[in-house]
Structure 1
Amino acid sequence: MQIYFAMLVFAFTMAISPGAGNIVALSNAANHGYKNTILFILGNVSGFVVLFITLNLALSEINLKNSMALQALGYLGAAFLIYIGYKIATSAPDISIKQQNKRGFLQGAILQWLNPKAWIVSLASVSAFGLTGHTTQIIIFAVIYFVIGAISLSAWAFVGSKMQQILKNPQHLKLFNRTMGGLLIFLALYLMYNLAAGS
């Protein structure tokens, strides 16, 4: 039981801490409302679970931890976060404009696959809990992270949705979008720096 409690604490700490998914959920809910962010949340946690299980299966065959491909994927993911950050920062300062793109299920899932933090969390959990080859524990951790991840993203989205009243002012919304986009770009650059420092 102790290992499952440790998994719970680990999942909560990783899921609730600021990251690409949380920032996008907050921004999307602030612009489009909580209900219009639910599909993104489900896609994001589903994307992580599929990534986590796939990584565990792959680690049974090869050592991804020392793979050059993994580092290249990290840079690609960081570049994708910069693109998302730019799109958020430059989005129209009017929440009534229908042309604004809502982030849906597919965007949420893809974000995890190109999110260096998701890869780091997956690999860290494999190392910390020795999950490779233990199917039952892999499934339990995946379920734990799905539930905790959904709750954490929902909390961020809820906060974002409560900001809608303030953000009805176009100037406030413009500043908010630039701040959220800037945070995402900063996060991506920080991840790139860590990748370069670790190489």
Structure 2
Amino acid sequence: MPSLLPIALFAFTMSFVPGPVNVITLASGLQNGVAKTVAFVSGATIGFAGLLLILGLGLAALPEGASVFTDGMTLAGAALILYIALPLFRADALQQGADQPVPGFLQGALLQWLNPKAWGAILAALSLFNLRPGTADLYVVIALWSLLCFIGVGVWAVFGAQLARVIQTPAQMRLLCRAMGSVLITLVGLFLWQWARS
């Protein structure tokens, strides 16, 4: 069994650092509050755990012909992130509690499966910590990472809700939402640029 401390530090860091899921969680916490964002955070956690399980059981060793599959996942992920980012970027007068679409459980789970950051983190962990398919070590890591993923992503919802308290005007809210939308659109551009180069 590999030491759990480095795995925990890696898992929490990868769950907490900014990425599409965390930016969307921040935006939802800002617009909708923590309680309404929990479903998205839970979906992201379950989706990530499922992806870790599938990749950990051997899908990580995809044959070369499976590049069509990974290309499709990358493009679908980019499309999903844009689908969420564009309304956020175009928002005119967002206010906390307003009638805005709330990202839910299914979007959170699906986004993890289409998130290049999640794939990269899992593939790196499987290699770094020498996690073998079907071993008890793999299941312990899945349980630990799920807990840390929920906490790491959930912190962004809390941060968004706290940020909403200092937003004083619709113009400030609009500026912040457009900034978050811009970050997501930029991430999509980076993912596609890396994909095109590979």
Q: Is TM (by shorter chain) over 0.5?
A: yes
Q: Who is 1:88 aligned against?
A: 88
Give structure 1 regions of 4+ aligned residues with deviation exceeding 4 angstroms.
none
Q: Who is 1:140 aligned against?
A: 140
Q: Compute the displacement of 1:87 (Å).
A: 2.1
Q: What is the DSSP-based 3-state SS (H/G/I as helix, E as strand, rest coil) of the residue aligned with 2:3?
A: helix
Q: Who is 2:195 aligned against?
A: 195
Q: What is the DSSP-based 3-state SS (H/G/I as helix, E as strand, rest coil) of the residue aligned with 1:165?
A: helix
Separation in 1, partners of 2:171, 2:118: 33
CA RMSD of aligned residues (A): 1.9
Q: What is the DSSP-based 3-state SS (H/G/I as helix, E as strand, rest coil) of the residue aligned with 1:94?
A: coil
Which amino acid in structure 1 is aligned with residue 61 of structure 2? Answer: N
CA contact (8 A) 2:32 2:97 kept: no
1:109 lines up with 2:109 in the alignment: yes
Q: Who is 1:52 aligned against?
A: 52
1:77 lines up with 2:73 in the alignment: no
Q: Structure 1: which 5+ runs fail to align?
A: none
Which amino acid in structure 2 is aligned with residue 170 of structure 1? Answer: P
Q: Who is 1:19 aligned against?
A: 19
CA contact (8 A) 2:2 2:137 kept: no
Q: Compute the displacement of 1:135 (Å).
A: 2.6
Separation in 2, partners of 1:96, 1:31: 4
Separation in 1, partners of 2:49, 2:80: 20
Separation in 1, partners of 2:38, 2:61: 35
Q: Structure 1, residues 119-141: CA drift from partner, whole Å, max 9, x if none?
A: 11121111222223243111111
Q: Compute the displacement of 1:98 (Å).
A: 4.5
Separation in 2, partners of 1:110, 1:146: 16
Q: What is the DSSP-based 3-state SS (H/G/I as helix, E as strand, rest coil) of the residue aligned with 1:163?
A: helix
Q: Compute the displacement of 1:56 (Å).
A: 2.1
Separation in 1, partners of 2:63, 2:172: 43
Alignment: residue pair count? 196
Separation in 1, partners of 2:96, 2:144: 37
TM-score by length of 1: 0.90
Separation in 2, partners of 1:104, 1:31: 14
Going from structure 1 to structure 2, the CA distance change for 1:120 and 1:96 (only over 3 Å counts) comes to closer
TM-score by length of 2: 0.90
Q: Structure 1, residues 130-164: CA drift from partner, whole Å, max 9, x if none?
A: 22324311111111111111111121111110111
